[in-house]
């Protein structure tokens, strides 16, 4: 395949269907933006780190189509993913007199994507938006599927809506500038898809980790495409997370406890998810679902991806308290995504004492 070829993964949601475009150099290609509804204004929502790297490239690409291209630059970081920052997006849109035909372009990682998508859902009761993910994590996960949110001091992603984008533009070239720690964090969400949905993909990741860590474009293209295919299939079956979409939260229940327990931004989301998957694999084994060898494989691939496999010492009581705020919890009972067998996940409850053992062993 030519390195300039564009791959399309369709996400089938009836009238809310859209394509994920995957390729190198997409931001510089006119056809990347073809077919988007014409509007007078485009509003690029980005952050102070991404703006100097990519805002000019996207602005230039949008100029032929939009009379006005507004740039809205947010502070960088998970700590700013809150209602106060969201309000600054509304201030900027209103200040620039952006109307209901405005298209919002979310240019950045998951933090920007989640906030810009939420802002688009609310601004003038809803304007369309396009995801232009610039981190690996955003390309394989957060830009796909329409979950948007901000954090609340009492819980992560607690205030938000489902709002599907018009298109996702995953340009592999933009990943060149991503810091190594952020790249590894993105690999956590790539790895996730193997144990929950596709055992052969896990084997492929195990064999191709060195190429992925070298950011080999062909390896990246495959990893992003396969991740998006798996996510698109799950979201198409369960857009609003009534059932099967919960499986995408493998590692996230433990991971969210780590993130909120330490304070948002201390550990990266992907780092917390990586460590959370190691804990969830241990829980799966203790529940008698998988053997030690499979648990070890998951821990090993997480570690090789450059991610932490031991959690911070918050104490098991604190972990349990934090996990009860998880959106999957029902009537105060924590529900965990576990591996039922290689490549297949399910949701289970577990006795607190057993979960505490997992935590104690993973944080000692």
- Where do contacts with ligand GLY occur on this chain (CB under 6 A)? 141, 145, 147, 245, 248-249
Query: Residue 81's binding partner, choosing from ligand GLY, ligand NAD, none, with beta-carbon cut-off 5 to 8 A by kind?
Result: ligand NAD
User: For this structure, is 231 an active site residue?
Assistant: yes
Tell the smallest beta-carbon distance from residue 109 to ligand NAD (Å): 2
DSSP state of 37: P
Strand partners, 150: 159
Site membership for ligand NAD, residue 132 (CB under 6 A): no
- CB-CB contact of 11 with 40 (8 Å): no
DSSP state of 178: S
Distances in Å between the Cα of 203 and the Cα atoms of 76, 95, 132, 300, 339 are: 35, 51, 29, 12, 16
The pattern of x and - marking residues 42 through 81 that bind ligand NAD according to CB under 6 A reads -----x-xx--x----------------------x-x--x
User: For this structure, is 256 an active site residue?
Assistant: yes
Parallel, antiparallel, or unpaired for β 147-152 and 155-162? antiparallel
The pattern of x and - marking residues 159 through 198 that bind ligand NAD according to CB under 6 A reads ---------------x--xx---x--x-------------
Tell the smallest beta-carbon distance from residue 152 to ligand GLY (Å): 18
Strand partners, 107: 132
Q: Which is nearer to ligand NAD, 110 or 261 (CB)?
A: 110
- CB-CB contact of 348 with 249 (8 Å): no
Q: Which is nearer to ligand NAD, 177 or 341 (CB)?
A: 177
**DSSP secondary structure string for all residues of 96-126:** TT--TT-EEEEEESHHHHHHHHHHHHHGGG-
Tell the smallest beta-carbon distance from residue 318 to ligand NAD (Å): 20
Tell the smallest beta-carbon distance from residue 38 to ligand NAD (Å): 27
Detail the DSSP E strand segments found in the chain. Answer: 7-11, 18-23, 41-47, 68-74, 103-108, 129-133, 147-152, 155-162, 167-171, 336-341, 344-348
User: For this structure, is 8 an active site residue?
Assistant: no
Give CA–CA dist 278/297, Å, rounded: 10
For the chain, the C-alpha Rg in angstroms (whole number) is 20
Query: Residue 340's binding partner, choosing from ligand GLY, ligand NAD, none, with beta-carbon cut-off 5 to 8 A by kind?
Result: none
Q: Which is nearer to ligand NAD, 219 or 289 (CB)?
A: 219
Query: Total residues contacting ligand NAD (rule CB under 6 A)?
Result: 29
Site membership for ligand NAD, residue 135 (CB under 6 A): yes
Which of 229, 241, 271, 340 is an active site residue?
A: 241
Neighbours of 115 (CB within 10 A): 27
Query: Residue 76's binding partner, choosing from ligand GLY, ligand NAD, none, with beta-carbon cut-off 5 to 8 A by kind?
Result: ligand NAD
In angstroms, how far is CA 56 from the centroid of its own chain? 24
Cα distance between the two ends of the chain = 48
User: For this structure, is 245 an active site residue?
Assistant: yes
User: For this structure, is 241 an active site residue?
Assistant: yes
Q: Which is nearer to ligand NAD, 144 or 299 (CB)?
A: 144
DSSP state of 76: P
User: For this structure, is 147 an active site residue?
Assistant: yes
Of these, 11, 58, 70, 109, which contacts ligand NAD (CB under 6 A)?
Answer: 109
User: For this structure, is 271 an active site residue?
Assistant: no
Give CA–CA dist 29/19, Å, rounded: 16
What angle (nearest 5°) sits at the alpha carbon of residue 97, between those of residues 82 and 107?
Answer: 45
Strand partners, 10: 19
Give CA–CA dist 18/1, Å, rounded: 23
Query: Residue 109's binding partner, choosing from ligand GLY, ligand NAD, none, with beta-carbon cut-off 5 to 8 A by kind?
Result: ligand NAD
User: For this structure, is 82 an active site residue?
Assistant: no
Q: Which is nearer to ligand NAD, 185 or 278 (CB)?
A: 185
Query: Residue 260's binding partner, choosing from ligand NAD, ligand GLY, none, with beta-carbon cut-off 5 to 8 A by kind?
Result: none
Question: Residues interacting with ligand NAD, by CB under 6 A?
Answer: 47, 49-50, 53, 76, 78, 81, 108-112, 114, 134-135, 137-138, 141-142, 145, 147, 157, 174, 177-178, 182, 185, 269-270
Active centre residues (catalytic): 125, 147, 189, 231, 241, 245, 249, 252, 256, 269
């Amino acid at each position: 395949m030519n390195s300039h070829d564009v791959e399309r993964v369709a996400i089938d949601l009836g009238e809310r269907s859209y394509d994920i475009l995957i390729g190198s150099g997409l931001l510089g290609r006119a056809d990347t933006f073809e077919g988007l509804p014409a509007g007078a204004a485009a509003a690029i929502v980005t952050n102070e780190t991404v703006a100097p790297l990519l805002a000019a490239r996207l602005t230039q690409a949008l100029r032929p189509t939009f009379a006005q291209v507004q740039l809205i630059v947010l502070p960088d970081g998970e700590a700013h993913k809150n209602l106060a920052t969201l309000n600054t997006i509304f201030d900027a849109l209103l200040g620039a007199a952006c109307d209901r035909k405005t298209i919002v372009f979310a240019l950045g990682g998951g933090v920007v994507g989640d906030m810009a998508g939420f802002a688009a859902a609310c601004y003038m009761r809803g304007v369309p938006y396009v995801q232009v993910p610039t981190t690996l994590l955003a390309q394989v996960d957060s830009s796909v599927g329409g979950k948007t949110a901000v954090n609340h001091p009492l819980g992560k992603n607690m205030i938000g809506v489902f709002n599907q984008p018009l298109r996702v533009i995953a340009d592999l070239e933009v990943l060149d500038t991503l810091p190594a720690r952020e790249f590894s964090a993105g690999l956590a969400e790539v790895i996730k898809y193997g144990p929950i949905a596709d055992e052969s993909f896990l084997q492929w990741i195990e064999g191709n980790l060195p190429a992925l860590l070298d950011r080999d474009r062909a390896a990246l293209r495959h990893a992003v495409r396969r991740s998006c295919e798996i996510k698109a299939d799950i979201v198409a079956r369960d857009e609003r997370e009534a059932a099967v979409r919960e499986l995408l939260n493998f590692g996230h229940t433990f991971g969210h406890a780590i993130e909120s327990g330490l304070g948002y931004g201390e550990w990266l989301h992907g780092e917390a998810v990586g460590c959370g998957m190691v804990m969830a694999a241990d829980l799966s084994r203790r529940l008698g679902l998988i053997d030690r060898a499979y648990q070890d494989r998951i821990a090993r691939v997480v570690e090789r991806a450059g991610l932490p496999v031991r959690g911070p010492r918050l104490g098991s009581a604190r972990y349990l308290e934090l996990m009860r705020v998880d959106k999957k919890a029902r009537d105060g009972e924590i529900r965990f995504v576990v591996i039922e067998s290689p490549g297949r996940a399910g949701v289970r409850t577990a006795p607190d004492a057993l979960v505490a053992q997992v935590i104690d062993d993973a944080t000692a």
